Amino acid sequence: MGIEYRKTKRIDIKKWFLGGNSKIYLIILIVFMVVAVFAFNALKDVDSGKSGEEQSFFSIDEETNESSSKSDDNNKFIEDSQSYKIRINKSTHVLSVFKMLRDGMYYPAYTFHCAINSNVETGDTVIQGKQTWILNNDYSYGHYASLLGNGAYIHSAPYWSQNKTSLSVTAYNNIGKTVSVGSIYLKAADAKWIYENCGINIPVEIYEDPEEEPIIQLEDFSKLPGSAYYDPSDKE
CA distances from 231 to 16, 97, 167 (A): 120, 22, 7
pLDDT for position 23: 64
pLDDT for position 181: 95
3-state helix, strand, coil in the chain (%, to 5): 35, 25, 40
pLDDT tens digit sequence for 77-136: 568 889 999 999 999 999 999 999 999 999 999 999 999 999 999 999 999 999 999 999
The pTM score is 0.68
pLDDT for position 7: 52
| 151 φ/ψ angles, rounded to the nearest 5 degrees | 95, -15
Domain ranges of the chain: 8-76, 80-207
The segments of the chain whose pLDDT lies below 50 read: 1, 3, 5, 8, 16, 46, 48-74, 76
pLDDT for position 150: 97
H or E element in which residue 135 lies = strand 123-135
Is 80-207 a CATH 2.40.440.10 domain?
Answer: yes
